[in-house]
């Protein structure tokens, strides 16, 4: 009788451990970085920064960023796992440790920004998005005590050309065929939602 309870208890414990063993974003990245259907990049912060063009606040923000891991899955002939990969990423990001900061878009195109850590001292900022005609991607911005507000200001300065993004030029090509030109994507403001 005692042996029966031990066996049942062991099985319940194994079941609980299996249920709590959700894959992490890091594990997903490592699992797919060698797959030739994905583009994987590890980018140190210094690679895409022209520090002379940054003001003191921008430099201080950038110093909190250690590196960026990018994993992209472009839609092209022979790649038929788009929906499965999107489902995997959305399942991983549904874990409560990934806190939603902002999301926008709907239907065929979506982007979401998550973070881990405390609101004033973020350790990881995650940018996830997809366009069903071009592909999907996830970027992990890793650092120490990053401030999301300061990072958003820095991204705005990148858009204005105040930060050298030449090191990231390959990323823009991920979702395009070699004979296709890039077009800017406009996302209506009414589809943007800030998480509370």
State the CATH number of the domain containing residue 148. Answer: 3.40.1000
Residue 184 lies in a domain: no
Number of domains into which the chain is organized: 1
DSSP at 149: H
Using left for φ > 0, alpha for ψ between -120 and 50, and beta otherwise, residue 181 falls in beta
Angstrom CA distances, 14 to 27, 96, 98, stand at: 21, 22, 25
- In sequence order, the 6+-apart residues with CB closer than 8 A to the CB of 115 are 98, 99, 101, 122, 124, 125, 126, 148
Is residue 186 domain-resident? no
User: Is 160 a member of any domain?
Assistant: yes
> pLDDT, tens digit, for every residue of 115-153?
988 877 788 989 999 998 899 999 998 888 888 778 777
**CA angle 188–189–194, rounded 5-degree value:** 130
Q: Copy the structure tokens of residue 120.
A: 């004033």
Asked whether residue 13 is domain-assigned, the answer is no
pTM of the model: 0.70
Task: For residue 152, give its domain range.
Answer: 22-176
As a whole number of angstroms, the distance between CA 127 and CA 30 comes to: 17
Number of C-beta neighbours around residue 70 at 10 A = 21
Does some domain include residue 185?
Answer: no
43 is a domain residue: yes
Task: Say if 4 falls within a structural domain.
Answer: no
Give the pLDDT confidence score for residue 32 in this predicted structure.
Answer: 93
The number of helices, as runs of H, and strands, as runs of E, in the chain is 6, 7
Residue 195 within a domain: no
What is the model's pLDDT at position 181? 34
pLDDT at 159: 64
Q: What is the pLDDT of residues 50-98, one digit of tens each?
A: 566 677 887 788 788 888 899 999 988 666 889 999 999 999 999 999 9
């Amino acid at each position: 009788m005692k042996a029966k309870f031990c066996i049942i208890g062991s099985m319940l414990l194994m079941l609980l451990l299996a249920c709590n063993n959700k894959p992490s974003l890091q594990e997903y990245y490592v699992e797919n970085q060698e797959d030739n259907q994905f583009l994987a990049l590890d980018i140190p912060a210094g690679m895409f920064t022209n520090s002379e063009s940054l003001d003191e606040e921008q430099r201080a923000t950038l110093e909190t960023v250690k590196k960026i891991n990018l994993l992209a899955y472009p839609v092209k002939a022979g790649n038929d796992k788009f929906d499965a990969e999107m489902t995997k990423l959305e399942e991983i990001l549904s874990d409560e440790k990934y806190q939603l900061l902002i999301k926008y878009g709907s239907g065929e195109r979506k982007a979401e920004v998550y973070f881990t850590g405390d609101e004033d001292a973020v350790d990881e900022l995650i940018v996830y998005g997809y366009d069903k005609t071009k592909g999907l991607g996830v970027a992990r911005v890793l650092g120490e005590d990053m401030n999301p507000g300061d990072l958003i200001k820095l991204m705005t300065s990148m858009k204005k050309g105040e930060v050298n993004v030449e090191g990231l030029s390959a990323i823009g090509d991920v979702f395009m065929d070699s004979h296709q030109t890039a077009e800017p994507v406009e996302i209506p403001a009414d589809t943007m939602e800030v998480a509370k």
